[in-house]
A and B are shown apart, each in its own frame.
Chain A
Amino acid sequence: MSVSEDRPFTLVSGASSGIGRAIALRLSPRRALILHGRDAARLEAVRKDCADPPAHLIWPCDFRNASQVASALTDFMGGIPAGIEGLVHCAGIVHVLPARSAGLEAVMESLNVNYVAAQQIAATLLKKRVNRARLRNVLFISSIFSRAGARGHSLYCASKAALDGLMRALAVELAPEVRVNSILPGAIRTPMAETAMADPEIMARWQQDYPLGLGQGGDIASAVEFLLSDNARWITGQQLVVDGGRSVNLSLK
């Protein structure tokens, strides 16, 4: 199947690697996808790994520069009359810094990628002249850090909390046409977590902290599939924690 004039798309941001890539591969047999990332070559590689590659499009855009996201997406939408029915915002960035070293550049980068881009995309997709009221489903890939603290992660925690605040507000404002939810993954085996996983001490602690062990991208893709489906038709405004039990584990040893 190739790109169709009347089959609406699902936009997956941050699809070049890790969780976003796993989500794209999982959704690709049944949905026409727009794969977003920074690097066109890497996106093309993901598209080729998808089921039915000709059915999907790529949209390279650097979310670190948030002021261009809305206009870039509006231009891009000009070429796809079928519009976008689903948004999965998976693009994310982590700066590990002591709170006292969190300079404005790192603050803005974290906010722009993790939160502002999601807000700007959602706003753009809600404009009738851009997307013809096609949007039905919004999913933000947040983090269990949205509801907790971790030393050195103040920017990540704050930006993910902002994302979840937006999620609840949109869920109320956009009902009943659009459902809006977020998924809060724990530690997943991805390039983002690679440095931490290479550290035997951190790995040993994670083995203790995660009752079900570390997760895989596919575990998040399964939750995405569910929340995008009609099986979740009465679920909106929710944070779905998918963390192998990490956030409820209070074991001392």
Chain B
Amino acid sequence: MNEFCEQIADILDVAEVKGADVLRDFEEWDSLSVLSTIAMLDARYGINITAVDLKDIRTVAELWDLVQARKE
């Protein structure tokens, strides 16, 4: 999950993120970040999620759980 946190931190333009961090609390979590996250998950993890899937996701850890669930 460390690498995943780095990738999310990069999208959010912050030094680091933790599992408990709430995505919506970040200034940079806008529609472009959502788009970038979707593209990153497709490129790095080979999974297709939509903006609708992301709406129910609160924290970084929850997003990681979704990635794990979709990978299986």
Contacts and interface: CB of A to CB of B under 8 A. Distances in A.
B11 A200 contact: no
Contact of B36 (A96, A198, A199, A200): A96
A195 B48 contact: yes
A200 B55 CA distance: 13
A81 B50 CA distance: 49
Interface residues of B, number: 16
Nearest to A97: B36
Interface string A172-203: 00000000000000000000001100111110
Interface in B51-71: 51-52
B39 A200 contact: no
A96 B48 contact: no
A194 B52 contact: no
A98 B37 CA distance: 10
Contacts of B48: 194-195, 198
B33 A198 contact: no
B10 interface: yes
Contact of B13 (A95, A100, A194, A198): A100
B5 interface: no
Contact of A198 (B31, B32, B39, B50): B50
A94 B11 CA distance: 17
B41 to A, nearest CB: 9
A33 to B, nearest CB: 30
Given A98-B11, A100-B13, A195-B42, A200 B52 contact: yes
Interface in A72-129: 94-98, 100-101
A201 B52 CA distance: 8
A195 B38 contact: yes
Given A98-B11, A100-B13, A195-B42, A201 B51 contact: yes
B52 A98 contact: no
Contacts of B32: 98, 151-152
Interface in B1-38: 10-11, 13, 31-33, 35-36, 38
Interface of B: 10-11, 13, 31-33, 35-36, 38-39, 42-43, 48, 50-52
